[in-house]
Amino acid sequence: MRIDSIRTGCSVAAAAILVLGGSAMASPGRPIPAAAQLPVPASDPAVREALEYLRASEPETIADQVALCEIPAPPFGEQARGEAYRERFAALGLAGVRADDEGNVLGEIGSGAPVVVLSAHLDTVFPAGTEVSVQRDGPLLTGPGIGDDCRGLAVVLAVARSLRRSGIEPAGTIVFVGTVGEEGPGDLRGVKRLFDETLAGRIDYFISVDGAGYGVTRSAVGSNRYEVTFHGPGGHSYGAFGMPNPIHALGRAIAKLADIEVPAGPKTTFSVGLVEGGTSVNSIAYETTMTVDLRSESPEALADLDRRFRAAVRQALEEERGRWSSDVPLEVRIESIGVRPAGEQPLTAPIVQAAIATAEQLGFEAATNASSTDANIPMRLGIPAVTIDGGGDGSGAHSLDETFDTTGSHVGTQWALLLALTLVGLE
The mean pLDDT of 374-391, rounded to a whole number, is 96
Q: Which CATH number characterizes residue 108's domain?
A: 3.40.630.10
pTM of this structure: 0.87
* Residue 16 pLDDT exceeds 80: no
Q: Which domain holds residue 153?
A: 25-221+343-424
Tens digit of each residue's pLDDT (9 = 90 or more) over 295-333: 999 999 999 999 999 999 999 999 999 999 888 999 999
335, amino acid identity = E
| Amino acid letter, 243 | M
181 and 258 inside one domain: no
Q: What is the pLDDT of residue 210?
A: 98
Other CB atoms within 10 A of residue 261 CB: 6
79 and 115 within one domain: yes
pLDDT, mean of residues 33-57: 79
Overall average pLDDT of the 248-252 stretch = 98
CA distance 210 to 375: 10
Q: Which of 419, 426, 425 is nearest to 207 (CA)?
A: 419
Asked which of 340, 367, 399 is the last residue of a domain, the reply is: 340
Share of the chain above pLDDT 70, in %: 91
Contacts of 201 (CB under 8 A, 6+ apart): none
Whether residue 177 sits in one domain with residue 49? yes
For the chain, what is the mean pLDDT?
91
Does 138 lie in the same domain as 68? Answer: yes
CA-atom Rg of the chain in angstroms: 24
Task: State whether 74 and 197 are in the same domain.
Answer: yes
22 near 31, Cβ under 8 Å?
yes
Q: Among 287, 322, 340, identify where a domain stops.
A: 340
Partner residues linked to 346 by β-bridges: none
Report pLDDT for 38.
58
Contact in structure between 372 and 387 (CB atoms under 8 Å): no
Task: Tell me the CA distances in angstroms from 180 to 28, 99, 101, 118, 149, one per residue in order.
Answer: 29, 11, 11, 14, 11
Flag whether 14 is in a domain. no
Residue 20 lies in a domain: no
Same domain, 44 and 170: yes
Residue 268 and residue 413 in one domain: no
Higher pLDDT, 24 or 219: 219
Domain count, the chain: 2
Confidence of residue 14 (pLDDT cuts 50, 70, 90): very low
Residue 35 has pLDDT above 80, yes or no: no
Do 175 and 243 share a domain, yes or no?
A: no
**By the 8 A CB rule, do 77 and 88 touch?**
no
